[in-house]
Amino acid sequence: DTEVTQTPKHLVMGMTNKKSLKCEQHMGHRAMYWYKQKAKKPPELMFVYSYEKLSINESVPSRFSPECPNSSLLNLHLHALQPEDSALYLCASSQENLLGQGERGYTFGSGTRLTVV
């Protein structure tokens, strides 16, 4: 299995809603990531989890709350979002140690397209 699976594919939520994005991988990767991508822009890093511990938070507002329940799962809990948070949210995973690992790099999921109304 060489995939990162994200659900749901599309999500529309109101500014007072609470929702969660889910990400799953079974490649044995020990690093998992959340990225946000606006139209015609590159992905921007939000969070990095390494061995199920949060290692990087790129000053993301607290209305985004990540969670890594185990080495295969990554969630992003959303609460009180703003319309400007509408974007494609991408999950990715990688081997924790990239050095000399052959064909490695990040594997991205297809993303969740989020619309905040």
By the criterion CB under 8 A, which residues form the site for other proteins?
4, 6, 31, 33, 40-43, 45, 48, 50, 55-56, 88, 90, 92, 94, 96-100, 103-111, 113
* Element containing residue 81 per DSSP (H, E): none
51 or 77, CB closer to other proteins? 51
Q: How far is the CB of 16 from other proteins (least distance, A)?
A: 27
Give me the least distance between CB of 50 and other proteins, in Å please: 6
Distance CA 78, CA 75 (A): 10
The three-class DSSP label of residue 28 is coil
Nearest-approach distance from CB 95 to other proteins, in angstroms: 11
Cβ distance to other proteins smaller for residue 15 or 54: 54
Extract the tokens encoding 57.
Answer: 């938070």
For residue 3, which of 97, 93, 102 has the smallest C-alpha distance? 93
Residue 72 burial (10 A CB sphere; 0-12, 13-18, 19+): middle
Closest of 29, 24, 67 to residue 47, by C-alpha: 67
> Judged by CB, which is closer to other proteins: 78, or 90?
90
Smallest gap, in angstroms, from Cβ of residue 96 to other proteins?
8
